[in-house]
Chains A and B, each alone.
Chain A
Amino acid sequence: MSESVADYRTYLDPRVLARVSSLDIRARLIVEGLMTGQHRSPYQGISVEFAQHRPYVAGDDIRHVDWKVFGKTDKIYLKQYQEETNLHLLCIVDASQSMAFGSVAPAGEALSPMEKVANLLGPNEAKPWSKYDHATAITAVLSYMAIQQQDSVGLAIFDNDLKRYFKPSNAPAQWKIITHELQQTPRLKKTNTGRVLDQLAEKLTQRSLIVLLSDFFDDIESIKKGLRHLRYKKHELMVFQILDPLEIEFPFEDVILFKGLEEMGELLTEPRALRQGYLEQLSRFTDELKRLCRGMDIDFVRMNSGEPLDVALSGFLATRAAGVK
């Protein structure tokens, strides 16, 4: 990988992105970083449909020459394509209080090229990178990419209820609306994923690709019921479970008073002794969620909000490409 590619890869690091306050800038940086890092982007293979032929003129890309016509007529024509707009992408983002949890600190004093750019673009609030930040970054990126392809993009934000809902649209302003909403929504309530998914299943009239981003700290039965409802409506689903590194590793040492978000009470304990049991419980829940998704033919991705986003997004794009073909 060249040096320039390596530099762009840094744009995918949450610690760097955390220094950028503007979500749309985050999204553009991610996409640029993502595209530069891909040799053959699945982006080229989707939403492209044949429209007409036109004569070749000097300077045209010979990759688009229709060699069959040339063989029959000895004339060089180029194939022209018309972009499709039949994909409806709906991003459902969990904006409950638990998603506000984040421990990924912004990058330090040694500024990377990205940090320099970020400093030029806006104030540096330097807040920890939360799971919600991770979810909104992914949502913004997917929305940006979809808009670029003339696909329709919609957004649903929920906590214990459906707070915001924007029908999928391919209007250029849709992306701005989405990023704005993602930044404005407060995160104070409990989650009720199942009920929200039921509501959305009733609202959606067209088959859509639904991307659900949450930590899924909720009742598994309720989630199961909502997902089944969406699948019943023939929607295609992708589930991103976003967890913070602290939640995954649980590396605490001293006696800690854990104050539960979403009114979960509190617990004073010595975490070293409880670590094994906690990780077992978390793993059991994640495995159950994964098994549930697999059973409904739903793509499931567990994301660590401390890790770069490219791996997860690349995997998503590859999956989508395979689905189109």
Chain B
Amino acid sequence: MMMEHQLTLALSLITPGFLIAGVILASVPIIIHILNRRRFKVVQWAAMDYLLAAMRKNRRRLRFEQWILLAARCLVLALLGLALARPLACSQTNLAAAGAGRDGLHVIVIDNSYSMGYETERPPARTHLQKAKILAKQLIDRLADGGESVVILTAANPASVVIAQPTYDLQNAKAAIDRIEQTNAGTDLSGALQRALQIAEDQPAALHRRLYLFTDATRSAWDVPQADLLHQLGGQLAKLYTITHFNLGRQNQWNQSVLGLRPQSNLVTTRFNNEFIADIKGFGSSSDATLQWKLDDQPLPGGTTIKPDTQTPPQVLSQLSIRTGGPHIISVSAIGHDALPIDNIRRRVVDVASELKVLVVEGDHGVGLMSGSAAFLTLALAPPTEASSQGNAKTNSAIAPELISDLELSNKVLNDYRAVILTNVAQVSAAQADQLQQFVQQGGTLMLFMGEQVNADNYNKVLLPRHLMPGPLTKRMSVGSDQKGYSFDFNPYGSLHPLLTIFRGEDKSGLDTARIFTYWQVEPSGNGVERVLDYVSADTTHSTTSTTTATHAADPAITTQSLGSGRVVFISTTANADWTSFPAKPAYVTLMHELLLGSVNSDDAWMNIIAGQPLFLPQTLKLTAAPSLIDPTQKPVALDQTSAEGGQLIYKSAPLDTPGVYRLTTGTNTYPIAVNPPADEADVRTLDNNAIKAALGDINIDLQGDILPPESDNIDRGNDLGWTVMLLVLLLVVAESFMAMRFGHYRRGTASAS
């Protein structure tokens, strides 16, 4: 408590050089005094007796007066230096730091995301980032050499530290700023601010701390989903820093960007023509742009001219036939004249497959035609052509199901398949469950159909802990044979799950008329479980396993959930007609295709990454030699081995920053890797100062444009003791004059002496 009430006084100096000069100048009166004692006139004097008598009598007084005058003159010069040094009194300070003369911490955050590459006429700077670097260096030039420390951070994703520890070497700090490169990544402002916060907390001794933010004030940088985090950080930083934001953006800047490029379906195949969708937007007052599609760098016909804006609908490339399987590069360019060309092109690597291999596990083979638990499903996934009925097992489907019994499951290498479907499998061993879990986590799709043989206890004990179920199986629900049964809660004009989009407006799909007589009730327990379809309540339902009559309106019929890179689809009834009439409906085939194709991952996700992210080689990738990677400029990129979550060793590159097509060689195979700028950085429309302030929680912040304010503006006038010290100097000068007159140490005129 005592310590809290102690008054601490500490000073920081705006121009400490003047204080040094003052201290040096304070020695001038002493030097003059000494020189005067050496430079004197000689007078032959007769009345020496009286002079000596006067000297004897006044010796002490004279000496005292001399010393006090000398001290006053020295003090005047020293205080004058102090006044010109502009001392600032600070409340959050300590004298130790002041004594050391190291009293200021300046943290400079420079946004070097790709939007900072916006080109504008501001010589000698060509881009926002170049201007920011010039301003930051000018700012450092204003700092007192040796007295103030600098930390440099960059705000491109991921936020990084250029100079981690506060440096007093200002030249080094400026050199570090010169080394900051324009990235093609998005903005990680919150990450940079978190680092700034940590630095301030690590430097409690700094007398004053200043945080300078150099950004283009774009919506993509400030109007971010993590608004709450920015709010919180702003409040915390305001307690530790004096914050200044420099807005490098131009009020009317605009940009057009290809934000996304994707195939219409997760399966791009050689069997059918494919569709690709490009999201092209314009932010600000953009101009016309010509679209240019390319396949493997060869232009495709169908380029159109559009004027993109924020409402521009997706552009579709349809009927693209790809003849060969394997990875191909699709790209789309918006050729225009904007000032940020880096995001005018987007590339996509698609793994074109001839077929989608699916492993269908049949738990119940049945005894009759189409009585197997997977009979309907297999037929639905690969419907035979007319020719096949004549003995040629041909199908037009891109899906290639492989039907096995549950006894064969353990012998299969699951990574050879894109999806595994279990139909009425009685129980799953722990080893099988582990394989399935790993399969899903690595991007595979697991579909589970219920049935008579399903052992609920086994499923709950084995699959549920491995997140391969949406929730525990609680009760098997059935209706009496005289009742209609349950139906799907399907309204073609209502709100539909994305997997059901194809059924929108379809009145006669059969989804609404299908009847379900038995199903396993499941209680979804995970947050990530999506309900695709629910059961609607029946007028009267009777359970065969329970005498109670209940309403089951909220019981899910079909759910889907993510696990790792893959997905799990759960269907609570059978895949055949044992428990439902749905397999006989026209919608059955379509729904099964949609569920499967909507859930399977395209195998090319790892080949499409965002700038700033590293490349991870999937474990399923077959390597016949040590992999190597080259960037778009043909320079090699190092690949290092690292441990994945499961402890396996995988290859990983450094963050890939340059957009373009990289080439990965794995021995016999070469894969293109597409690196694109982040879509969320494209909106370069600037926010006004109030919005910046609001984004940081309405804190007290100095909002500047793209020029440094006059140096005097940086002075905290409220704490400036310069004028007080100057007043003291004047008072001391008056006192010195008075004492000099009083003591007789002033000149009255020239006197001649022989």
Contacts and interface: CB of A to CB of B under 8 A. Distances in A.
A102 interface: yes
Given A256-B40, A259-B43, A276-B744, A103 B753 contact: yes
Contacts of A217: 46-49
A101 B45 contact: yes
Contact of A267 (B41, B48, B750): B48
B744 A128 contact: no
A173 interface: no
A272 B40 contact: no
A253 B750 contact: yes
B39 A272 contact: no
B128 to A, nearest CB: 67
Interface stretch (B11-19, B50-58, B109-117, B578-586): B50-58
A59 interface: no
Interface residues on A, range: 35 or more
B39 to A, nearest CB: 7
Contacts of A273: 58, 62, 65-66, 743-745
A81 interface: no
Interface string A272-303: 11111110111001000000000000000000
Nearest to B751: A251
A253 B55 contact: no
Nearest to A270: B745
Contact of B40 (A215, A257, A260, A282): A257
A98 interface: yes
B714 interface: no
Contact of B47 (A102, A269, A277, A282): A282
A232 interface: no
Contacts of B738: none
Contacts of B748: 251, 253, 272
Contacts of A255: 36-37, 39-41
Interface string B738-754: 00000111111111111
A278 B422 CA distance: 124
Contacts of A253: 747-751
A299 B48 CA distance: 26
Chain B CB within 10 A, most for which of A217, A259, A265, A278:
A278
B62 A274 contact: yes
Interface in A123-166: 128, 131
B42 A257 contact: yes
B745 A261 contact: no
Contacts of B6: none
A217 B743 CA distance: 28
A257 B41 contact: yes
Contacts, number: 132
Contact of B746 (A243, A256, A272): A272
A318 B46 CA distance: 31
Contacts of A268: 37, 40
A261 B46 contact: yes
B541 to A, nearest CB: 120
A275 B49 contact: no
Chain B CB within 10 A, most for which of A105, A243, A253, A261:
A253
B44 interface: yes
A282 B754 CA distance: 20
A258 B43 CA distance: 5
A190 to B, nearest CB: 11
Given A253-B751, A277-B54, A272 B41 contact: no
Contacts of A247: 46-47
Chain A CB within 10 A, most for which of B53, B65, B743, B750:
B53
B754 A260 contact: no
Which DSSP category, helix, strand, loop or mixed, fits chain A's interface? mixed
A269 B53 CA distance: 13
A261 B50 CA distance: 13
A257 B744 contact: no
Contact of A278 (B37, B41, B43, B54): B54
A228 B43 CA distance: 35
A269 B65 CA distance: 13
A252 interface: yes
Contacts of B52: 260, 264-265, 267
Contacts of B754: 102-103, 128
Given A102-B754, A253-B751, A261 B45 contact: yes
A262 B51 CA distance: 14
Given A255-B39, A255-B40, A103 B54 contact: no
B751 A278 contact: no
A281 B50 contact: yes
B189 to A, nearest CB: 69
Contacts of A61: none
B561 to A, nearest CB: 99
B713 to A, nearest CB: 49
Contact of A257 (B43, B58, B743): B43
B753 A252 contact: yes
A141 B344 CA distance: 121
A259 to B, nearest CB: 5
B46 A278 contact: no
Contacts of B745: 270, 272-273
B55 A98 contact: no
Interface in B714-754: 743-754
Nearest to B36: A255
A109 interface: no
Chain A CB within 10 A, most for which of B46, B743, B748, B749:
B46
A254 interface: yes
B317 to A, nearest CB: 100
A261 B46 CA distance: 5
A267 B42 contact: no
Chain B CB within 10 A, most for which of A131, A217, A270:
A270
A246 interface: yes
A107 to B, nearest CB: 15
Contact of B51 (A100, A128, A243, A267): A267
Nearest to B58: A277
A49 B737 CA distance: 69
Interface string A86-130: 000000000001111111010000000000000000000000100
Contacts of B751: 246, 251-253
A244 interface: yes
A100 B51 CA distance: 18
Interface in B406-455: none
A256 B50 contact: no
15 contacts: A98-B46, A99-B46, A217-B46, A252-B753, A253-B749, A255-B39, A256-B753, A261-B44, A261-B48, A273-B65, A273-B744, A274-B51, A274-B62, A276-B744, A278-B54
- Which 9 pairs show the lowest CB-CB distances between chains A and B? A277-B54, A260-B48, A264-B48, A98-B46, A281-B50, A251-B751, A101-B46, A258-B45, A255-B40
Given A98-B46, A274-B744, A281-B49, 18 more contacts: A101-B46, A217-B48, A251-B751, A252-B753, A253-B748, A253-B750, A255-B36, A255-B41, A256-B42, A259-B43, A260-B48, A264-B48, A267-B48, A267-B55, A272-B747, A276-B744, A277-B57, A285-B49
Interface of A: 97-103, 105, 128, 131, 215, 217, 243-244, 246-247, 251-262, 264-265, 267-270, 272-278, 280-282, 285
Interface of B: 36-37, 39-55, 57-58, 62, 65-66, 743-754
